[in-house]
Amino acid sequence: MLCILNNSSTDPYFNLAAEEYVLKNFQENIFMLWQNDTSVICGKYQNAAAEINWDFIKERNIKVVRRLTGGGAVFHDLGNVNFTFIDQDGIGDFHSFTQPIINVLQQMGVPATFEGRNDLMIHGQKFSGNAQCYYQGKILHHGTLLFSSQMNDISASLKVNPLKFQDKAVKSVRKRVTNISEHLPQPMAISQFIHILMDYAQKNFPHATAYSFSPTDIQAIEKLRDEKYSTWKWNFGKSPKSDYHKMIHTAGGNIEVFISINQGMIDNFQLQGDFFAKKEIQPLEQQFIGQPYHENSIRQILQQTAVEDYFYQITQDDFIKLIF
């Protein structure tokens, strides 16, 4: 039997928590459609900080969330639809789970195909990336469906300076992307597209039944969200060991930083450049070692230590720009 879950939340922290909750607590096969507000969703084994454009993410207040599955970072907004299958017997590969999506799109007149390891494509352009994980014999498969996403935001959010981070984490592979809406014979709202997908599941899977989260479910998911998926420890602290390097030009000269990061914590912090120092900078460098690589933590240190006491014409804002 297939349980078709109705999840109306657009909170990415909640929705990623909901997937884990359903995977670990439901005994039925699951199909769920869901949407996230603007966010970047990173693979389980990625260095989250190295997958995003920090300046753009901060400016737009975009959430960054780590998921249970591997693969690369993806951009979500309300022009994107996510689908999740959970099979209790752990049966199914990437192609079998995505075939229903291909069937629906082809019936709508969209020439969708499965290509490569885990992508759905239209005329050589990607509109869906997919990932999987296993838990106690079960398999969770989920994927994105770009329907009318903001392409400029996708590019800007994931446009990373490759010189900033050097690490051994799994890197995202960027491909040309497209929206499904651009290939439809007739215009369609995303709500209608979601309805068509739900209708297909109800008609083509035997004994499919609809289900909405109960108050007990929601309470448990919110607890998992608050204790795991919305935390810095899960989203950034799980990142593999990496080295960060950046140089900026300031009124006081060029300043360059070299940071070693392990499990989200700063292992080493060194400054170089042609700046003029008012006093030895080693005590300042030492203050960052052992601290989380997180803007709030860095700002707390800088609130207690005036950067201007160490450098000529280099400000606290310059320092924040240097470190992130």
Provide the token pair at 239: 């990142």
The predicted structure's pLDDT at residue 160? 65
Long-range Cβ contact pairs of 190-198 (< 8 A, separation 24 or more): 190/78, 190/79, 190/81, 190/147, 190/148, 193/81, 193/147, 194/33, 194/81, 196/104, 196/108, 197/33, 197/81, 197/83, 197/101, 197/104, 198/4, 198/33
The mean-pLDDT minimum among 29-38, 166-175, 204-213 falls in 166-175
Q: What is the reported pTM?
A: 0.80
Q: Which of 182, 133, 159, 140 is nearest to 75 (CA)?
A: 159
Are residues 157 and 75 in contact, defined by beta-carbon separation less than 8 angstroms?
A: yes
Provide the token pair at 132: 């999987």
Which stretch of DSSP H or E encloses residue 191?
helix 190-204
**Residues 217-228: pLDDT tens digits?**
999 999 999 999
Mean pLDDT, range 145-153, rounded to an integer = 94
Alpha-carbon torsion angle 74, 75, 77, 81, nearest 10? -20
Residue 4 has pLDDT above 60, yes or no: yes
The mean-pLDDT minimum among 44-53, 135-144, 182-191, 277-286 falls in 44-53
Residues 6+ apart with CB under 8 A from 292: 232, 236, 237, 264, 265, 266
The predicted structure's pLDDT at residue 52? 86
**Residues 150-193: pLDDT tens digits?**
999 998 998 765 555 555 454 444 568 899 999 999 999 999 99
Q: Which amino acid is at 21?
A: Y
Q: Which of 5, 8, 17, 12 is nearest to 219 (CA)?
A: 17
How close are the terminal C-alpha atoms of the chain, in Å? Answer: 49
The predicted structure's pLDDT at residue 173? 47
Confirm or reject CATH 3.40.50.300 for domain 242-323, answering yes or no. no
Strand-by-strand arrangement of the 63-66 sheet: 63-66, 39-42, 74-76
Q: Which amino acid is at 28?
A: E
Q: Which regions of the chain carry the CATH code 3.30.390.50? A: 242-323
Q: Which regions of the chain carry the CATH code 3.30.930.10? A: 2-235
The predicted structure's pLDDT at residue 170? 46
Average predicted confidence (pLDDT) for the chain: 90
The Cα 218–Cα 195 span in angstroms is 23
The predicted structure's pLDDT at residue 1? 76
Provide the token pair at 170: 């799994």
Burial class of residue 265, CB neighbours in 10 A (0-12, 13-18, 19+): middle
CATH fold of the domain at 2-235:
BirA Bifunctional Protein; domain 2 (3.30.930)
